[in-house]
Amino acid sequence: MDGEEPKKGDFFLSLHLNVQTMSQLIWIKMANLVFELEKKLAVQLPSPLSSPGIKRNIDKMKTVLEEAGLLSLNPAGERYTETRTDLEASITGADAGDLVVLDVIKPVIYADQGGSRTLIQKGVVIVGNK
């Protein structure tokens, strides 16, 4: 018996999801690059306001990422606990006392689709005592 043809609605849905998934990987790469760029500029420029043009461009890039449904967060300086599944941590020094995020190699990225948020990239961080 021949199978039923897929309904048009299903086709639209699956097509839409595929489009999102494929482009999402590229957007994640872009989010990582924007993060690295910002990190480098923070080291080289005395203050973010010393070049409003650069800051404006970085902000624009972040806006574009948000429009693509990605929320990129930099956890630098935040308290680290073992319950934080949004971070993939390497722990330096002794595992004692209050740990904080000392260095961020990759940012935390959430995807926002239809109002529901999902962690799609764990932040790769180095944690330790201050």
Partner 1 sequence: MSTTINFAIDLGTTNSLIAKAGNGTVDIFKNPAGMKLTLPSVVAFRKDRILIGDKAREYVEKDPGNVFACFKRKMGTSESFFIPNSGEFKTPIELSSIILQELKHFIFTGETPESVVITIPASFDTIQSNATKEAGYAAGFKEVLLLQEPIAASLAFANKEGKTGMKGQWLVYDLGGGTFDVALVKIDEDEMKVIDHEGDNFLGGLDLDQLMITQLFIPFLEEKYGVRDLTAKMLRANGIYNRLYYQLLYKAEEAKIALSNYPTADVEFDFTDEEGTVQEVFFTIDREAFNGCIREKISYSISFIRRLLERNRLGAGDIAEVVLVGGSTYIPLVRSMLAAELAISVNTSIDPTTAVVEGAAWYAGSRMSRLEPSVMKSLGEDGASKGKKKDAAAGGVEVKMAYQVNTRENEEYFAASVKQFPVGGFYRIIRSDGGFDSGFKPVAARISEMLVLMPGTLNIFQLRLYDAGRVPLEVEIPEINITQGRFSVYGQPLPNDICLEVDDADNKITHLEVIFERNTILPIRRSVTKALSRTIVKGSDDQLLINVLEGSRYASPPSNLPIGVVAITGKQLSTDLVKGCDIDLTFEISESRDITVTAYISMIDAEFTSVFSPSTRTVNIARMKEETDYLYRVGDRQLSKLLAKEQYEESAVLQEAMKELEVIQRELKKMSADDVTDARYQLDDRKRRLAQVIDSAEKGDRMVLLKEEYYAKKEDYYEMLVQAGDTDLLKRFAALGAEESEWMEHCSPRFLRMKIKEMDRLSWNVRRKDLGHVTAIYMYYAMKPDDAYSNIGEIRLLKKRGDEALTRGIVDEILAIIHRMYELLIDKNRDETMTGTGLRG
Would you tell me which residues interact with partner 1 (CB under 8 A)?
8, 11-12, 15-16, 18-19, 36, 39-40, 43, 56, 59-60, 63, 66, 73, 78-79, 81-86, 88-95, 102-103, 105, 108, 110, 114, 116-122, 124, 126, 128
Q: Which is nearer to partner 1, 18 or 50 (CB)?
A: 18
Are the CB atoms for 107 and 71 separated by under 8 Å?
no
- Which of these, 81, 56, 51, 86, lies nearest to 71 by C-alpha position? 86
| Smallest distance from partner 1 to CB 93, Å | 5
Task: Return the SS3 of 123.
Answer: strand
| Tokens describing residue 74 | 């930099």
Q: Smaller CB distance to partner 1: residue 30 or 122? A: 122
| CB of 64 vs partner 1, minimal distance in Å | 9
Question: What are the C-alpha distances in Å from 37 to residues 23, 43, 107?
Answer: 21, 10, 12
d(CA 29, CA 80): 25
Minimum CB separation from partner 1 for residue 30, in Å?
A: 16
